[in-house]
A and B are shown apart, each in its own frame.
Chain A
Amino acid sequence: MFFRDFLTLASSSFLSYRMRSFLTGLGIAIGIAAVILLTSIGEGLHQFVLSEFSQFGTNIVSIQPGKTQTHGGNAGVFGSTRQLSLDDAESLRHLPYVENVNPSVMGNAELRANGKTRRTTVFGEGRDFARAFTMKVQSGSFWTDEDNEQARAFVVLGSKVRQELFAGQNPLGSYLRVGGQRYRVVGVMESKGQVLGLDLDDSVFIPAARAMELLNRSGLIEVQVSYRASVDVNEVIRLVTERLKERHGREDFTIISQEQALEVLGSVLDVITFAVGALGGISLLVGAVGILTIMTMAVTERTAEIGLLRALGAREQQVLLLFLGEAIMLSALGGVLGLLIGIGVAQGLHWLFPAMPVHTPWFFAVLAECSAVLIGLLAGVMPARRAALMNPVEALRAE
């Protein structure tokens, strides 16, 4: 039998029962659509979260004071956790591969300018802050020198702070009071919006040394080191660890690499995508039962025809393939319909709610269609075997 004839014969039966075949295919279509829709949303969320996390660049390691320990014990006994100092940060600047080093503290303070007062987040950062995090300065620039002993009172404004305190005027060169001290405005950041709940626009950036003094902190919250993209992150971690151990005499700090954090986050999000996809899979299972039902009925209805095919010289295997082919085609066509519905609804949702991240990787679409074919195959096996193994004499007698 030629493949084309096989397709014609296998499709002739479900084409003759249009309504019934459509409804059966619809069962699969709904399942596939659910899987595609849910995984599209899951994948969209995945990409959204990862891009939120990676927008500051991925080749960054952060060093935090204190060692994350897994064994118990009173920290006070052994425990002089030394804080990270500006000198610690400075010492990393000359390590190989390191491009930018940024000491970091954070706190709240009151701003005053033009007779207006505003309480915002104050970031104490290094001069390379914008470069390390690939953030853009809209006008002006970060301070260029950095004397740890006598850092100058410069401030860079977030775009919202500029709007609120210096509406309609150029703030560069103006003075601003931060926690009562006078700072000169040297730059304004480009608007960045909310990043994971933190409004970077509603904040100001001052030299870390000044911020420590202002916020009355004796150490840094974090030191970020950006390194050359071509270098293995573990090599950078090794170098940084070595240098800080040299200075502190022990490993009383924790290094977190953006790359590793993203990897962990990515795999967690993958699991979520997979889990919602599996939920959609349940409705796919219901569709499979529909195919099984309709094929069982078809075999019973067409018993005489099966007998006839055998009398005309069809082999058991040919009968098996005809019914199996019918089940697979029904399911595959339902799958295509489901893909169209799923992708259509996903795009429609995105159009209605632009904030909702939606992404359908073509790999998922192919995988979904393959599973539709597989479902047709599995649901078709039992009825098709029954058809193939029928006694032709008894089959012919059924009418």
Chain B
Amino acid sequence: MIEFSDVSRNFTVGDQQVQALRNINLTLGAGEYVSIMGPSGSGKSTLLNLIGLLDRPSSGVYKLDGMDVTTLDDEQQARVRREKVGFVFQSFHLVPRLTAAMNIELPLILAGVAAEERKTRVKQLLQNYGLADRADHRPDQLSGGQRQRVAIARATIMQPSVLLADEPTGNLDRTTGWEVLKLLEGLQDQGITLVVVTHDAEIGARAKRQIHTLDGRILSDAQRA
């Protein structure tokens, strides 16, 4: 459950104040499938970063699962990110020198999960995502689709309640893009809250709830029948 009340985010660029988000009020229920669309600079990525606690609002209150997370310190925010949020990026953001398995294992390592448990969980996910024979490959030995699947495996290994995808298909060809999207939608079917930021209307249209942003405001918030 994600609740934004009167959230704004200002940036200072040079000597100019830029309002990336203006007084956003938004509630996303648990398990929803939401797409956020809008032209670049409309604030959709800022919105995603705020939801994922990578960024702090300049004003307003953000409650995640009923808890006010705007007042948390760095350590507490890191903990919330680790346990409740998964990120999928356009450019995958895999660590190039680590194997696919190690990349997926990374959140577990940071969280201090014991080695045996990590091994079994990573193995299970590799199996689920059809990457079992790619476990020891480094990212530069993987195809684009495989890379994004590794990234999704990494984002979900902590079993987060929210999965945030920023242009997840942006660096993939059409077919692979659809496959990745199907994978994400499959996770949503299992109960995860899926938020996809995109400027591709066709992809955005697949979500049940579609939010359009413009100039830091929510232009429309429509529920598909």
- The interface of chain A, by Cβ under 8 A from chain B, is 1-2, 4-5, 9, 12-13, 15-16, 304-305, 307-318, 392-393, 396, 399
Contact = CB atoms under 8 A, between A and B. Distances in A.
B154 interface: yes
Given A2-B112, A305-B95, A393-B54, A315 B87 contact: no
A4 B52 CA distance: 29
B107 interface: yes
B139 to A, nearest CB: 12
15 contacts: A1-B112, A12-B97, A12-B98, A15-B97, A16-B97, A305-B93, A305-B95, A310-B54, A312-B107, A312-B110, A313-B81, A313-B111, A315-B75, A316-B78, A393-B55
Contacts of B89: 308, 396
Nearest to B81: A313
A313 to B, nearest CB: 3
B49 interface: yes
Nearest to B155: A312
Contacts of B132: none
A304 B96 CA distance: 11
B110 A318 contact: yes
Given A5-B115, A308-B93, 20 more contacts: A1-B109, A2-B115, A15-B97, A16-B96, A16-B97, A305-B93, A309-B110, A312-B106, A312-B110, A313-B81, A313-B82, A313-B107, A313-B110, A313-B111, A313-B158, A314-B110, A315-B78, A316-B75, A392-B54, A393-B49
A107 to B, nearest CB: 80
A261 to B, nearest CB: 61
Nearest to B151: A308
Nearest to A313: B82
Interface residues of B, number: 29
B75 A312 contact: no
Contacts of B115: 2, 4-5
Contacts of B82: 312-313
Contacts of B87: 311-312
Nearest to A397: B45
A9 B99 CA distance: 12
Nearest to B157: A312
B109 A5 contact: yes
A21 B54 CA distance: 32
Scoring A1, A305, A308, A312 by chain B CB atoms within 10 A of each residue's CB, the highest score goes to A312
The 10 lowest CB-CB distance pairs between A and B, nearest first, are A313-B82, A16-B97, A315-B78, A313-B81, A308-B93, A5-B109, A312-B107, A311-B87, A392-B54, A314-B110
A399 B92 CA distance: 11
Nearest to A395: B54
Given A1-B112, A12-B98, A304-B93, A311 B106 contact: no
A196 B109 CA distance: 65
Contacts of A393: 49, 54-55
B83 interface: yes
A311 to B, nearest CB: 5
Interface in B66-106: 74-75, 78-79, 81-83, 87, 89, 91, 93, 95-98, 106
Given A12-B98, A305-B95, A399-B91, A311 B54 contact: yes
Contacts of B55: 392-393
A390 to B, nearest CB: 11
A313 B79 CA distance: 6
Given A396-B89, A399-B91, A310 B109 contact: no
A15 B82 CA distance: 27
Nearest to B166: A396
